[in-house]
Amino acid sequence: MALTTAAVSLHPFLSRSTRILRFGRRLPPLLLRATSSASASSSSSQHFNISFAEPTPSEKTPSAQPRVPWIVRGEDGKPRLSTSPPQDVLEAIALAEADAKKAAKREALKGQKNAVAAAAAAAAAASSASVKARERKASPTAPPKFSKAARRFYNENIKDREPQRLAKVLAAAGVASRRNSEELIFQGKVTVNGSVCTSPQTKVDITKDSIYVNGNRISKKLPPKLYFAVNKPKGYICSCGEESKSVVSLFNDYLKGWNKIQPGLPKPRLFTVGRLDVATTGLIIVTNDGEFAQKLAHPSSNVTKEYVVTIDGDVHKKHLIAISEGTKIDGVMCVPDLVEPLAAQSDTRKTRLRIVVHEGRNHEVRELVQNAGLKVYALKRVRVGRFRLPADLGIGKFVELKQADIKALEGNN
């Protein structure tokens, strides 16, 4: 077999500081032979005769390991041939493979997160679309969501004109209270479109139907809903009658000028929300909105009311404990939400207590105090819900409530 011999000088590579010499690409199997002249040379330069031989059949297999892939410097400082990479190369390869695996894992996790986020977004969009579809299906005739002024106009001029019960229409028109309106209907004093109607549940449309009470025609326009806060004086009763000292009588001058304030609209029938006894002063609400009054005054609404009680006599700890434990009123156990003493006023040395209740039973605060063995000198209500009696509102005066005040009445501190 013909052999091709090439002399390779290793001095330029061995002069480097590194101990490992690598080739940029893998060499074919080498057959290293030292020439006689090289072996006999006594100079410091070392020469090798390297001849390239044909690989044996076993070396042609893919699994054959190259004979001399690495040239390394041994412990004695001389270069030698090695069939395996040095330890630091193996560590570098392992580190590179580990970094590659970590990068692949990060990419896989990132892909999974993106897929989960995309699935969640798609599910949320589908759910929102489903909810909107159900809402459109459930309320096909719901009023459009326009501006606040447009919604108010709809509620005041369109929504309330839908057919309603006859007794409710009469009460809203200011004829009488709902209970008295039912009595008028039962007595046959109400006609609808020329026929006597004796059922309070009859649905009528005040803008289309002709309604008469005792021969007087009901206006096709309803008065606006009004809400007032009144600083009730002592000695006035919460009655809707013609008594001269009723809370409603405080509005006589206001109602006399109604045609100038609201021309073309019928006068409202005002009444108090709940009651304060004749000796109790302070905050009371007056309105012509029956549904609002029922909701605010009913004990199930749990709207809190705050009272300031002036006690005639000394108050001790045992009295406060007795008030806090509550008492039975009309067979129902009533327990106050708060009982605490207040600082004495400069013009009197009488003890004052703050009592907060939510039941709204008749004479509830007076019963709590008297059950504890104390005598009430004066009682004043100063708060309903989150609405507090204005400090500048004089006794016997009233102020019209704004929308924010009406919402405050229905909430609690």
- pLDDT per residue over 68-82, tens digit each? 467 777 777 777 777
Residue 355 has pLDDT above 90, yes or no: yes
**HSE of 272 in the Cβ direction (CA atoms, 13 Å)?**
21
Confidence of residue 160 (pLDDT cuts 50, 70, 90): low
Alpha carbon distance 282, 379 (integer Å)? 8
Taking the CA atoms of the chain, what radius of gyration do you get in angstroms?
50
- Known catalytic residue at 99: no
Q: Which two tokens stand for residue 176?
A: 């009488």
Confidence of residue 111 (pLDDT cuts 50, 70, 90): confident
Choice among 88, 205, 277, 312 that is catalytic: 277
Helices (H), 148-203: 148-157, 166-172, 178-186
CA nearest neighbour of 233 among 55, 396, 25, 42: 396
SS3 179: helix
Alpha carbon distance 289, 222 (integer Å)? 12
Confidence of residue 291 (pLDDT cuts 50, 70, 90): confident
Would you state the pLDDT for residue 413?
60
Asked if 356 contacts 337 with a C-beta cutoff of 8 angstroms, the reply is yes
Would you state the pLDDT for residue 156?
61
Would you state the pLDDT for residue 95?
86
Percent of the chain with pLDDT over 90: 30
Strands (E), 183-295: 190-192, 195-196, 203-204, 211-213, 216-217, 227-232, 271-272, 281-287
The alpha carbon of residue 121 and the mean position of all alpha carbons in its chain are separated, in whole angstroms, by: 22
Average pLDDT, stretch 119-132? 75
- Return the residue matching tokens 């709207």: 303
Confidence of residue 317 (pLDDT cuts 50, 70, 90): very high
Residue 134 has pLDDT above 80, yes or no: no
Residues 204-251 have pLDDT tens digits of 888 888 899 988 888 888 888 999 999 999 999 988 766 678 999 999
Q: Which two tokens stand for residue 251?
A: 């509005």
Confidence of residue 387 (pLDDT cuts 50, 70, 90): very high
Q: What domains does the chain contain, in order, with CATH numbers?
A: 150-217 (3.10.290.10), 227-409 (3.30.2350.10)
Considering the chain, what is the average pLDDT of its residues? 78
Residues 17-74 have pLDDT tens digits of 444 444 444 444 444 443 344 444 444 445 545 554 555 554 444 444 445 467 777 7
